[in-house]
Structure 1
Amino acid sequence: MIEQKARLLIVDDNKVNRLLLSRSVELLGYSAAVAENGRIAMQLLGDEPFDLLLLDIEMPEMNGFEVLEEIRHDPSLSDLPVIVTSSVEGVENIVRCIDLGADDYLPKPVNQVLLQARLSSSLENKRLRVEQKQLLEKFATTEVAQDLQKSGFSLGGKRVYASVLFCDIRGFTALSESQSPEETIELLNIYYTLMFEAIDCHGGIVSLMIGDGLMALFGTPRPLQNPAQSAVAAARDMLAMIEEFNLERVANSNVEIKIGIGIATGEVVAGYAGTQQRATFTCIGDKVNLASRLEAHTKVAGCEVLVDGVTQDALREHDRGKPILQVSFKGFSDPVDIFSL
């Protein structure tokens, strides 16, 4: 059980209180460390992990209210349960503690039976929160998971400036028909592992996977200073990883794989689409359609990466691509300027 292994930090300026609380929690099967004021407590919380904080209010240098404020603004401590143990009277003080993020309040002198119940409940709630976060991160990217935890879930979207990247494996259908299903799944697993790594390293998220294709977003839900530059940097890493992967494939007498990438930049509508029961973070707009068209056109143009004019203009000089004659794409009334990296 997590309660039997939990490590608690007791913060109280009174030495006798620290000793009595330490003895109480150790008799309950926990381990305890102590701090004599809030400043020392925050130093300890920054240096080592704790499972729960027992916090006094009236202390010199940094009181309990100030500690709660610090914890509330520190993302690394967002899952830390805090139980206030104080002789400060008044409902308004208890309400203030709860408003600042405390999980519970125990008046002094602390009742042993109540202490056991509150510790068990708070640690169980922490375990459930951690499990929920881990489960969420299995089915959503880190950025989307953080967005959900910070803002909550609601269907709808907002206009944002972002870069959209589409990528797929050339000739994948023919390749999959020439090998066993197990080999195809293994290839896809490796492919996605490599692509996810490149995209994640440059601040992007993968919002859609269909077969061998994927759509990645740069600039939403996490803002980026230059989404286009980040998307192109990711594309270059994707190509470099595929090149290294092909060395291994050739060594094992497998055919090389090739990928095509299309990138478009501009205003899109991003948010959660679907139903209350099942939804995904995605984006829509002309730039999404254009990125998809550019990726498909890489086969026609005989190049690996195509970008639109907005992406081209946002790149550093040495990263810019070579212009290709304007192309008319389905769904677009005017020809589009495109560039090959």
Structure 2
Amino acid sequence: MSNFVIHGIYILILLFALTQTRFFSQTTDQLIRAHTPTHNFIMADSKPFPVTVHPYTSKVFRNAALYELGSSSARNTLLFVGGLGDGPHTVPYIRTVAAKIEAAEDLNYSVFEIRIRSSFSGFGWNSLANDVEDISAAVKYLRSIGKEKVVLMGHSTGSQDSIEYTNYEKYHNEPVDGFIIQGSVSDREGLPIDKGKENVDKLVAIATDMIKSGRGDDAVPKSQLPVELDPWPITAYRLHSLAGVGGDDDYFSSDLPDERVAEIWGRVKQPILVVPSEKDQFVPPTVDFEKLLAKWKSFGPAISDLSGLIPEANHTVDPPSSREWLADRVVRFLRGLSK
């Protein structure tokens, strides 16, 4: 085959790859989760950055890997978990956090990003319980390579993962030394902002009927969905978990009864930093997040005094000044764990 033909084929493949990448980027912004990141990338986000890949053994996840930002000789770890549709390297602000942590030499931390079964398009076929199992396997690996402190940080649904992870009695999972949650908003309250309450009610009704008929683990047929969703499958269980009252993902709704709030935050025994975004576009205007955070604090003695709303931040903390504020709070929180 001539070099001309080979070069022509290469160009066609490259164009196809670019087209698919653009399609993936567009569909990612249309995830079922109402507060799925709508990235407004700045130039700094598109620059190459190095990571160290750590393959590790997981009995439930084939070819598991962790991706380390920072010095591999660091004694301590910040383990970062993204939200629905996220995976390693899809939440740019964590690189700002990682840089700030590495610059604080007294901390001796590096950042690890994790790929789990629910990463990227896998969220619809999985659950918080699966996430806990995958995260626990990663923590076990980190301990095996000598990491002293492991702090779990979650963005968006990663926040639900972090709260679910505190249920050691249920899961017998590997313990961690602290938690950080950012973008901890309610799917149930956020979905109607994007999809409309009537449409969400229909979604929940479809999922409920399927669960009652024993088909909770089946994918909801796209033909039955009243709103246009991604071509990625989602089970009736996960749909109800996200959008239904009392679903397994329903940790942060503003209308949860006090006894449920007390149960959630009373279970958190390790220090936890709670840093919601001040201008999160997926928080209904009827919700006063300052008051909601104060309520959580009243039931959660483990919540750090450093907790607070990230100034000017949207859900994914896009403004550079907001990222710097978040990174500074994370460093101060981690420094406090060392005392």
Under a length normalisation based on structure 2, what TM-score does the superposition of the two structures give? Answer: 0.28
Larger fraction in strand:
1
The structure that has the greater radius of gyration is 1
Under a length normalisation based on structure 1, what TM-score does the superposition of the two structures give? Answer: 0.28
